[in-house]
Structures are given as structure tokens and as C-alpha cells.
């Protein structure tokens, strides 16, 4: 391939094309800030690819890839414990099916809107492609807030949600999974309702299922473990490892808990974690057993931790967690939780690596700060791809009607995370962007999907 220096006119042409398409995207999706942020990050990475491979411009892949194949928005009526009718809004974005059926989680959180679901669905296209598994990109959710709701309310809401969603999904069409606010319990209710409506047991329609009806061992652990496996690969480049390092993990949900577990197994000291109200700091290292019981079993707030560990501190508000000095930061809660100010604090305190367990937890400005200061930075679509990768393994086990052991799935997950790291690193180097894993992940994820779109014609 010619070096970038030798193709300056092509680079300028590709940059102009990217700018033009981005202007169109902005007009068509005005006010969808999260979606525009995700598109900008991907577009910026693709300029050298388009300069070297103008076939993607000829087929107008950028304009096509930012337009979801289908967006479904629907009413979700349900009756609360007082007998009052409540109404929420449900979404499913079926973004891209070039390399397989749509695949991506369902989020229940009051902040869910079209922009959030679209950014998540867009990211999912490239993430799923990076896993090497045959899965397209999709995402869904509702502005329903599970906090403070009874089990009966959660079940009735979830059943109503699935009554409508069931018209659009299936094992070869669209396979949802969990995300924020949707764990094994909600997946169970969704699966039960889908089965009742369809009158058939189709294990492959959802992933993250319970082990007694088609779930995969190690799915629960996959995103958190995968995050740590990826960061461990990144650290190896500079002869570092988790062993003996101080780690801060935001959130205390599914991804955070299993990131903490794996980091501790690898010898790290995890000193802090959080929820949307505040964070706890335990200089002796977080007691994971307590966090698991509080969050997974008792569904309590993280501040309760200090009742059992009085030497630990609880601080109201979640962004302050990034002011704690650490070697490795793993944002595992939600989008845009690390802004430029937080990124600068982390750098000033000597952070060596940041791995995004959550989706888009760093703003574009924060990423620039990390890159400018040579912090090893692992982007979400690569780092947290372990969850969807094991979901694809769950689909494979369902179609073969067998179950692999925990060790088998975990070994496959480790291999997949190593491959994702290597492919992202190699793609970055191919375009003279050595060490820029944001660009590498975007490029590697994009090329496979774009090539499939070209092969399949204008559809
Ligand atoms: P989860 O189990 O529902 O946990 C979410 C955690 O983040 C909770 O501790 C929650 O605190 C906190 N949080 C939520 N919204 C917040 C906000 N606005 N500010 C601060 N903290 C907030 O969800 P999860 O499955 O771990 O997902 C976490 C992130 O990972 C999300 O970005 C998700 O898209 C991404 N992800 C998840 C998977 C997966 O397999 N689960 C796969 C790939 C990516 P509260 O309890 O106070 O709400």
C-alpha cells in the first residue's frame, strides 16, 4: 500500500467526502447528540481508509451505514401495583444486517431515547463485526425505570414490552440481550412472553438466558472479564500487567462486578466503584463479596458498603471517582462519564491505561487528552465486545443443542479478546496510526461490514 504521504490529494478528497456526509447526518439527526458523537468518532477514523480504498466512496457506504435499516418505536402500556395504567416508550433499532441477524442489548433506563438507542446500535455494528462472529448490529430499550418497582411491576412491564417487540425479532432476524437495567430476570420474563406468543420454544431468540433454559455459562461474566482480558493485552505492550496495580472501576452493575472480579484475580487492588448516586473508596481494596450481595441479591445502593466496612468512605456524586489516583481506570457505568476535566485529573494522577467497559463512557475531548498524554486507551467497541461475543457463543450452543463448560467458554472468550486486540492494533498500523486503538477498532470493524454491503448490492 502507498504511504499516506504519497496520497495527499486522495486524503483531502476523502476528508471532504467525510465532512459532506457528516453535514448530512447532522441535518437528518438534529439534536441527537450521542448519535452524532458516535458517528463523528467513526468517520474521523475512516479518512485514510477511504483515501486508500475509494471503492467505499463509490458505493456511498458512509451515507448508507449511518441510516438504520429500520427503527421501531412503540407504546408500552402496563398496570402498576396501585392499579394505575402507566405508559412507557419502547424502541428497537435494527441498524445493519450485512454480516448477520441484528444483535444487541435492551436497556431499561429513564434516559433512553432515540439518540441513545441509535448511538448504541451504531456502535454495535462495528463491535459485532470485530468479534469475528456472524452478527449484525441492533439495540433497543425503554424509558422505563426499574428502580423502586416491585417484581410484579417489572414482569408486567416487560411482558407488555415483549408483546410488541415479538413481532420484529427471531433467531434468524434479530436477537436481543441485556444491557443497563436488563439482567437475567428481565430476560427470563421476555423469553417467557415470546414463547407464549409464538407457541414455540426458540432458545436462539434471546441471549443472556438463565442456565436452566438455554443460557451459556460465563455469559454473566463475559463483558467484565473480556474488558480485563483486553486491557491486559494492551498493558503487555509496555511490559505492564494488572498484578500489583491500583484500579478504579465505575458502576457496580454486571460489567463492573465481573471486571472487578477478574482484575482482583490477576492481582490488582481495586480501590473504588460506584452507582448513579455516588462512589465508595476502600484503600484496603474493595470487598467484592459485599458488593455482589448488595447489588446482585439485595438490590441496595452502594453507600450501604460503608456500614459493613466502616474504614471505607462514601462520596455523593459519581464523577469524583476519577479524582482518585490509580494506574488503571475502567469506566463501566454509562456514556460520557469521563469528560475532559476528569480525563485531565486521571492523567495528572499518573493513570497508565484506560479501558472502556461501558459504551462510549469517554467524551471525544477526553479521548484526545488520553491520546495526547500517551495513556494506553482501549475503546468500548473493542474492550467490551466480550459480552456480545459470548452471546454469539450462546446462539451457537442453542443451535447445536449442547452446552459448553465454563472453562471452554472462558477460553474462547480469551482468544476472541486477544484477536480483537491484535486486529485493532494491526488495522491502526496498516494506516500509519500505530497505537491508536480507537481508529484501529473502527477500521477493522468497518471494513468487514462495508465489504459485505458492497457484495450484497444496493439494498
Ligand atoms: P447494569 O448492570 O444495569 O449496571 C449499570 C451500572 O452503572 C449501575 O451501577 C448503575 O448505577 C450505573 N449507572 C447507570 N446509569 C448511570 C449514570 N447515568 N450515571 C452513573 N452511573 C450510572 O448495566 P451493565 O450491563 O453493567 O452495563 C454498564 C455499561 O456497559 C453500559 O454502558 C452498557 O451499555 C455497557 N455494556 C454492557 C454489556 C453487558 O453485557 N451487560 C455489554 C457491553 C456493554 P445505578 O444502580 O444507580 O443505576
Mean pLDDT value across residues 144-153: 97
Quick one: pLDDT at residue 5? 82
Does 6 or 52 have the greater pLDDT score? 52
CA of 232 to the centre of ligand 1 (A): 22
CA of 236 to the centre of ligand 1 (A): 28
Closest ligand 1 atom to Cα of 333: 7
Binding residue numbers? 103, 124, 127, 178, 223, 254, 391
| Active site residues per annotation | 139
Asked whether the predicted pLDDT for residue 7 surpasses 90, the reply is: no
Verify whether ligand 1 is closer than 6 Å to residue 333 (CB atom).
yes
Verify whether ligand 1 is closer than 6 Å to residue 338 (CB atom).
no
324 neighbors 271 (Cβ within 8 angstroms): yes
Verify whether ligand 1 is closer than 6 Å to residue 291 (CB atom).
no
Quick one: pLDDT at residue 6? 82
Mean pLDDT value across residues 24-46: 97
Verify whether ligand 1 is closer than 6 Å to residue 384 (CB atom).
yes
Nearest-10 Cα torsion for 282, 268, 414, 219: -20
Closest ligand 1 atom to Cα of 387: 40
Quick one: pLDDT at residue 3? 84
Euclidean distance between CA atoms 255 and 334, whole angstroms? 11
CA of 6 to the centre of ligand 1 (A): 45
Verify whether ligand 1 is closer than 6 Å to residue 302 (CB atom).
no
Verify whether ligand 1 is closer than 6 Å to residue 346 (CB atom).
no
Verify whether ligand 1 is closer than 6 Å to residue 226 (CB atom).
no
Closest ligand 1 atom to Cα of 275: 11
Over the chain, what is the mean pLDDT? Answer: 97
Closest ligand 1 atom to Cα of 208: 40
Closest ligand 1 atom to Cα of 274: 9
Binding residue numbers for substrate? 103, 124, 127, 178, 391
CA of 107 to the centre of ligand 1 (A): 9
Q: How confident is the model at residue 318 (pLDDT cuts 50, 70, 90)?
A: confident
Closest ligand 1 atom to Cα of 385: 43
Q: How confident is the model at residue 4 (pLDDT cuts 50, 70, 90)?
A: confident
Tell me the CA distances in angstroms from 285 to 90, 268, 293, one per residue in order.
Answer: 40, 9, 17
Question: Which residues, at least 6 apart from 345, have a Cβ–Cβ distance to it below 8 Å?
Answer: 322, 323
This model's pTM is above 0.95 = yes
Verify whether ligand 1 is closer than 6 Å to residue 290 (CB atom).
no
CA of 440 to the centre of ligand 1 (A): 25
Euclidean distance between CA atoms 325 and 322, whole angstroms? 8
Verify whether ligand 1 is closer than 6 Å to residue 181 (CB atom).
yes
Binding residue numbers for NAD(+)? 223, 254
Per-residue model confidence as pLDDT tens digits over 369-416: 999 999 999 999 999 999 999 999 999 999 999 999 999 999 999 999
Verify whether ligand 1 is closer than 6 Å to residue 255 (CB atom).
yes
**Long-range residue pairs from 192-200, CB within 8 A, at least 24 positions apart, any chain:** 192/159, 193/158, 193/159, 193/162, 193/163, 193/166, 194/162, 194/166, 194/169, 197/162, 197/163, 197/166, 198/166
CA of 178 to the centre of ligand 1 (A): 10
Ligand 1 pocket test, pick from 107, 179, 320 with the greatest ligand atom count within 8 Å of Cβ, gives 179
Per-residue model confidence as pLDDT tens digits over 260-310: 999 999 999 999 999 999 999 999 999 999 999 999 999 999 999 999 999
Nearest alpha carbon, ligand 1 atom 19: 276
Per-residue model confidence as pLDDT tens digits over 195-226: 999 999 999 999 999 999 999 999 999 999 99
Nearest alpha carbon, ligand 1 atom 10: 275
Q: How confident is the model at residue 245 (pLDDT cuts 50, 70, 90)?
A: very high
Lowest-pLDDT choice from 3-12, 145-154, 214-223: 3-12
Burial class (CB in 10 A: 0-12, 13-18, 19+), 383: buried
Could you give the angle at the alpha carbon of 128 between the alpha carbons of 435 and 330, nearest 5°?
50
CA of 154 to the centre of ligand 1 (A): 18
Amino acid at each position: 500500500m502507498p504511504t499516506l504521504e504519497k496520497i495527499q490529494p486522495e486524503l483531502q478528497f476523502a476528508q471532504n467526502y467525510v465532512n459532506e456526509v457528516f453535514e448530512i447526518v447532522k441535518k437528518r439527526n438534529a439534536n441527537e447528540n450521542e448519535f452524532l458523537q458516535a458517528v463523528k468518532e467513526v468517520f474521523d477514523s475512516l479518512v485514510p481508509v477511504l483515501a486508500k480504498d475509494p471503492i467505499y466512496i463509490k458505493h456511498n457506504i458512509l451515507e448508507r451505514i449511518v441510516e438504520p435499516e429500520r427503527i421501531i418505536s412503540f407504546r408500552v402500556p402496563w398496570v402498576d401495583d396501585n392499579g394505575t395504567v402507566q405508559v412507557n416508550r419502547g424502541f428497537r433499532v435494527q441498524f445493519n444486517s450485512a454480516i448477520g441477524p441484528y444483535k444487541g442489548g435492551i436497556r431499561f433506563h429513564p434516559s433512553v431515547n432515540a439518540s441513545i438507542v441509535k448511538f448504541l446500535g451504531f456502535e454495535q455494528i462495528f463491535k459485532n463485526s470485530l468479534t469475528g462472529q456472524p452478527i449484525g448490529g441492533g439495540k433497543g430499550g425503554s424509558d422505563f425505570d426499574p428502580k423502586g418497582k416491585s417484581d410484579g411491576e417489572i414482569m408486567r412491564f416487560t411482558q407488555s414490552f415483549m408483546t410488541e417487540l415479538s413481532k420484529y425479532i427471531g433467531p434468524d432476524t434479530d436477537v436481543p440481550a441485556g444491557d443497563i437495567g436488563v439482567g437475567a430476570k428481565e430476560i427470563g420474563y421476555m423469553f417467557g412472553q415470546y414463547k407464549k406468543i409464538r407457541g414455540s420454544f426458540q432458545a436462539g431468540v434471546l441471549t443472556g438466558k438463565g442456565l436452566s433454559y438455554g443460557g451459556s455459562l460465563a455469559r454473566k461474566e463475559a463483558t467484565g472479564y473480556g474488558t480485563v482480558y483486553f486491557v491486559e493485552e494492551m498493558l503487555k505492550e509496555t511490559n505492564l500487567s494488572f498484578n500489583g496495580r491500583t484500579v478504579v472501576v465505575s458502576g457496580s452493575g454486571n460489567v463492573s462486578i465481573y471486571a472487578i472480579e477478574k482484575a482482583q484475580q490477576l492481582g490488582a487492588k481495586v480501590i473504588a466503584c460506584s452507582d448513579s448516586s455516588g462512589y465508595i473508596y476502600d484503600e484496603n481494596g474493595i470487598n467484592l463479596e459485599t458488593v455482589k450481595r448488595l447489588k446482585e441479591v439485595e438490590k441496595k445502593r452502594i453507600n450501604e458498603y460503608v456500614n459493613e466496612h466502616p474504614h471505607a468512605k462514601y462520596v455523593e456524586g459519581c464523577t469524583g471517582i476519577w479524582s482518585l489516583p490509580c494506574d488503571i481506570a475502567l469506566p463501566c457505568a454509562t456514556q460520557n462519564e469521563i469528560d475532559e476535566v476528569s480525563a485531565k485529573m486521571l492523567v495528572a494522577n499518573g493513570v497508565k491505561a484506560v479501558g472502556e467497559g461501558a459504551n462510549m463512557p469517554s467524551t471525544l475531548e477526553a479521548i484526545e487528552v488520553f491520546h495526547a498524554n500517551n495513556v494506553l486507551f482501549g475503546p468500548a467497541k473493542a474492550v467490551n465486545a466480550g459480552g456480545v461475543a459470548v452471546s454469539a457463543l450462546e446462539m451457537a450452543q442453542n443451535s447445536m443443542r449442547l452446552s459448553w463448560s465454563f472453562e471452554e467458554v472462558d477460553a474462547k472468550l480469551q482468544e476472541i479478546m486477544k484477536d480483537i486486540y491484535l486486529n485493532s492494533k494491526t488495522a491502526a498500523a496498516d494506516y500509519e496510526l500505530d497505537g491508536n486503538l480507537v481508529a484501529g477498532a473502527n477500521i477493522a470493524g468497518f471494513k468487514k461490514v462495508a465489504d459485505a454491503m458492497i457484495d450484497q448490492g444496493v439494498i
